[in-house]
Amino acid sequence: MGHSNRHDIAIRGVLTLTAVAHQTSPDRPATDAPTPQMKASVVSNGVLVRAVPIITANSVKGLIRRAAGELLMDQLSHDGKQISRNLYLSIMRGSFARTGIQAGGANYMQLVAAKNDPFVGLFGGGAYMYDSSVRMERDLYPMLECIKNNFPIAYQAQCIDLQPYQIMGTSLIASRDDFQKLAAPDLIEDAEASYAEHMGVKLAANAAKREQKANTQGEYLADSDKLTTTDLNMFNQLEVIAAGTPLYFGMTAKNVTEAQIGLLLQAVCNWSNNNALGGGSSRGRGSFVPSLQLFQDGEKVTDHLLIDASGTYNLSTTVKPFVDVMREALKTTATPEHLNTLYPTELTAKSGKKTKTTTQNMHAGLAT
């Protein structure tokens, strides 16, 4: 198995939300309450369907890139190696800064090495802005009957007969709230009802305080007359996609090596175990159950890419050879020397008639 063994692969299937999910609309007015969910208009069978909530493909691809980057970090840690902060950022988010980029500035040997590298060949980026082999087929749309023609025929039967507004709701989220994500909900009496009461009291007290402030502008109020809250947390009301909503997931990678396939599949598995879409994941939002199929060169490899249970997913034994090739490849490619060659963090950039050098610390300790 080597670089000559290249394939086209696709990972397709359904992510069913097990908790509400939210991704903030970037163009929302600052005064909006609740904070609106990102939405798009979708044409299906010649009909325009408005306000369809989405989780952006870019955000999901970014999470999977980070999951793949963590596999490189594991190898570096195993070997007792360190890398610079800027190399770390180049791997995990695609670039260490807005400056110091020379798109297309790589030489021939760097381009060949990048294309063959397990990580760089998949996700690209870095100072030279290598192209990525990985593509999301579309944003993650809810699988609704009214837009089912936007999904592959094989998955249309899993669409639900609801309109976009029917899968939307609101939820409260606090910056910190130990009660919001219970590690052991079985220990709390009537956990769901208790949480609803807990947040309802917060909402009412804060609303009353805001109303008093609005109604007494310019008036003097003694401290004893001012309404106060006992809440230690700031919180917002969000518009959310309901739990139980199926979302379509489609990802492709063209002309990739078997080591790259192994890295991408393991990253998807690890991302699924991280179990998060959208914002507020640290507080229990965006969890899901994946049901994914793998296709190689147009042929189905497996109906069940991920096996076992949520949080402990493993890859199907069918794809183990790809993972084995990837693990072996990382022993020689997940090294500071190799990665610094492909993702340089010390560049000479031309600015007008003058030449300036962007110097970054190549030997700083790993920043995580």
57-66, 118-127, 166-175: range with lowest mean pLDDT: 166-175
Contact 135, 252 (CB under 8 A): yes
Distance CA 334, CA 155 (A): 37
**In this structure, what DSSP letter does residue 298 have?**
T
Please report, rounded to a whole number, the percentage of residues in the chain having pLDDT higher than 70: 84
Is pLDDT at 233 greater than 60 in this prediction? no
DSSP string, 244-275: T-EEEEEEEEEEE-HHHHHHHHHHHHHHHHH-
**Tens digits of residue pLDDT in 89-130:** 999 999 888 777 888 899 999 999 999 999 999 999 999 999
Tell me the β-bridge partners of 306.
315
pLDDT recorded at residue 354: 38
Q: What is the pLDDT of residue 61?
A: 97
Q: Between 193 and 143, name the one with better pLDDT.
A: 143
The answer, yes or no, to whether residue 53 has pLDDT greater than 50, is yes
DSSP 167-193: GEEEEEEESS-TTTS-S-GGGSTTHHH
pLDDT digits (tens, 9 = 90+) for 7-45: 999 999 999 999 999 999 887 765 667 889 999 999 999
pLDDT tier for residue 236 given thresholds of 50, 70 and 90: confident
Which residues, at least 6 apart from 53, have a Cβ–Cβ distance to it below 8 Å?
37, 38, 39, 142, 164, 167, 168, 241
Reported as a single tens digit per residue, the pLDDT across 316-353 is 999 999 999 999 999 999 999 999 999 998 765 444 44
**Sheet of 7-17, strands arranged across:** 134-136, 246-256, 7-17, 288-296, 299-302
The DSSP letter of residue 81 is -
Average pLDDT of span 241-258: 98
Give pLDDT, residue 309.
81
Q: How far does Cα 259 stand from its chain's mean position?
A: 22
pLDDT at 32: 64
Indicate whether 362 pLDDT > 50.
no
Identify the pLDDT of residue 366: 31
Q: Which residue has the tokens 């009909």?
A: 47
Specify the pLDDT at position 3.
53
Residue 256: both structure tokens together: 């990739």
Give the tens place of pLDDT for each residue, 134-152.
999 999 999 999 999 999 9
pLDDT of residue 186: 61
Longest Cα–Cα distance of the chain, Å, equals 79
pLDDT-derived band at 215, boundaries 50, 70, 90: confident
Position 198 scores a pLDDT of: 72
Model pLDDT for residues 42-52, shown as the tens digit of each residue? 999 999 999 99
Strand segments (E) across the chain: 7-17, 39-44, 47-53, 134-136, 168-174, 235-241, 246-256, 288-296, 299-302, 306-307, 314-315, 347-351, 354-358
pLDDT(251) > 80: yes
Report the pLDDT value the prediction gives residue 331, as an integer from 0 to 100.
Answer: 98
- If one compares 240 and 359, the residue with the highest pLDDT of the two is 240
Q: What integer pLDDT is reported at residue 231 of this predicted model?
A: 59
